[in-house]
Amino acid sequence: MITTVMTTNKKEFREMIDKLHVMQKRIFSPDEVDYLTDCDGFEYLEFKQEDESDEELLKLFSTWLHERPKQQGHVDYYILVYHRKDERLTHFQLEYMYRHITECFDTSHGWLYEINNRMRFRLRIRLICSYKKRFQRLTRKDWRGGVEIDNDNQ
């Protein structure tokens, strides 16, 4: 398994997730991009299959997640699995991910995207994490521009 760090600063992070397309359609809407980039920390990593099987790659990915330090606060994470054309995760692989990967994020929301529209020879997994030290359950927005309203100005 090869691990690649895809971004080093917030501007690159925004550009990377804004450019994610599948068949000329954006994966994240502009509102989702704004939400993900309004964070206290972020990660954008890619894991590539080398000589291991698909199951071994999932186990290595899970092991890597368990070995790293846990993040405090709320985490929104996206797992993009790039399959070979017309393939999907099996029931057992999906169950394995549900059991072993979701437990690595304490207070979080996770989304899994399976992308299989192109010819590929190796499985790839991209992990996108947006860390929020403080999680607001409700954010007031101005309907005219989508701008967050400061409570002190009212």
pLDDT (tens digit, 0 to 9) for every residue of the chain, 154 residues total? 778 888 778 899 999 999 898 888 999 999 889 888 888 889 899 999 998 999 999 999 999 999 988 777 788 899 999 998 888 999 999 999 989 988 888 778 889 999 988 888 889 999 999 988 776 667 666 666 656 656 544 4
Q: What is the DSSP letter of 19?
A: T
Q: By CB neighbour count within 10 A (0-12 exposed, 13-18 middle, 19+ buried), where does 29 fall?
A: exposed
Three-state secondary-structure class, residue 131: strand
Name the β-bridge partners of 90: none
Residue 79 and residue 33: Cα distance in Å, rounded?
15
The structure's pTM equals 0.81
Three-state secondary-structure class, residue 124: strand
Outline where DSSP puts E strands in 41-123.
41-48, 74-82, 107-115
Token match 């804004």: residue?
A: 18
Query: What tokens does 149 get?
Result: 């309203």
Residue 85 and residue 126: Cα distance in Å, rounded?
17
CA distances from 98 to 11, 95, 102, 105 (A): 31, 5, 6, 12
Output the pLDDT for position 23: 86
Residue 73 and residue 62: Cα distance in Å, rounded?
20
Domains for the chain: give ranges and CATH numbers: 2-153 (3.30.1330)
> What is the number of H-type helices and E-type strands within the chain?
4, 9
